[in-house]
Amino acid sequence: MTALLVANDGGHLAQLKSLAKRLPIADTFRWVTVPTPQSESLLEGEDVTWVKPGPTRDLKAAVQNAVLTSPLFRRNRVSAVVSTGSSLAVSVLPQARLHGKPSYYIESATRTHGPSLSGRLLSKIPGVELYTQNASWASKKWKYAGSVFDGWEPVRLPEGRKVSKVVVSLGTSRTYGFRRLVEHVAPILQDLGAEVLWQTGTTDTTGLPVLDARPSVPAQELSAAMREADLVIAHAGTGVALEALQAGKLPVLIPRRAEFAEHVDDHQEQIAGMLRTRGLAVVREADEVRLDDLDLAAGSSVCLREDARPLAL
């Protein structure tokens, strides 16, 4: 039997990939996601069904992906479906219930105050089991399953770390740039004389002191660069935060803001605040980043305890 692991690319997929080893499921996995350089690299060697991009609140794309994934339930012996969102969960989980398959929706860790639109829609589907990664808003309907960030702990380095290699990652959004971050951070890094890997997505860096900006960097290359870096600076996306932690780095996270057309809403403020509370990030607004913040993050590392419990599904 095969369990389907369903997630949009980016942070949703990164969360599910990290949580997969903690799922109480013994069956083989088949992944359902969107092909991007990052997702293809992250899932290299895995059994994957590739679907179309599913932009936020794009009903047409959600319906198209429902059609694309429907053969999975006719051709395969599906035992269960697990998803961390977003729109692909809406495309696949209702189908799973129509076929009588156990269906688990794990809300993104970014949602610290309540469910996303996808979560609210899926809460109307009978039989879909609903889970939050934030105990603060758990309820009879939304059970607390644990978090993708369970087990991580900050460690202060006794002698700090000189900042000579830096990774700056703005994610791979096809819609939203984050020029404000680059405008404020690039001059600081230029003054440091640091070697910087810039992963900029759709952000326009014209006229800024940025060398060799790359829209996307394969997951394996980005992970290796983070491991070698002294410092990671990023937008406050779940995927890149996880990448930084897995590389042993305490990241500087800068939330995108809807008022500047940097995202659809301010949910990155929620994930940044949660990680700051856990001691797993230095969080600043784009125009507040200072050299002291970089030194603070570079002077710490993180480690993962071995006793992170299985998800309580």
Q: Kindly state whether residues 78 and 211 are assigned to the same domain.
A: no
Domain boundary among 148, 178, 202: 148
237 touches 268 (CB < 8 A) = yes
Report pLDDT digits (tens) over 67-121. 999 999 987 799 999 999 999 999 999 999 999 999 999 999 988 889 999 999 9
Tell me what the pLDDT averaged over the chain comes to. Answer: 93
- Does pLDDT of 213 surpass 80? yes
Q: Tell me the β-bridge partners of 299.
A: none
Per the domain annotation, does 258 fall within a domain?
A: yes
The predicted structure's pLDDT at residue 304: 87
pLDDT value at residue 163: 94
The reported pLDDT for the residue numbered 231 is: 97
CB 280 within 8 A of CB 236: no
Residues 108 and 244 in one domain: no
Rounded-to-integer distance, Cα 281 and Cα 203, Å? 23
Which of 52-61, 173-182, 192-201, 235-244 has the least mean pLDDT? 52-61
Domain assignment of residue 254, given as a range: 153-304
Residue 196 forms part of a structural domain: yes
Is 57's pLDDT higher than 80?
Answer: no
**Final residue of a structural domain among 129, 148, 167:** 148
User: What is the per-residue pLDDT across 159-209, written as a single tens digit (0 to 9) for each?
Assistant: 878 899 999 999 888 789 999 999 999 999 999 999 999 999 999 999 999
CATH number at residue 231: 3.40.50.2000
Number of independent structural domains in the chain: 2
Peptide bond into 173 cis (omega under 30): no
Same domain, 144 and 52: yes
Residue 95, SS3 per DSSP: helix
Instruction: Say yes or no: 170 and 88 in one domain.
Output: no
The pLDDT score that the predictor gives to residue 13 is: 95
pLDDT in tens, 253-267: 999 999 999 998 888
Q: Are 51 and 33 in contact (CB under 8 A)?
A: yes
pLDDT at residue 81, rounded to an integer: 98
Determine the average pLDDT of the residues in 20-40: 93
Are 161 and 297 in a shared domain? yes
**pLDDT value of position 20:** 94
- pLDDT for 31 beyond 80: yes
Q: What is the mean pLDDT of residues 300-311?
A: 84
Q: For residue 298, give the nearest of 213, 192, 201 by alpha carbon.
A: 192
Token pair in block for residue 77: 């012996």
Please identify, among 148, 169, 184, the residue that sits at the C-terminal boundary of a domain. 148
pLDDT confidence tier of residue 124, bands split at 50, 70 and 90: very high
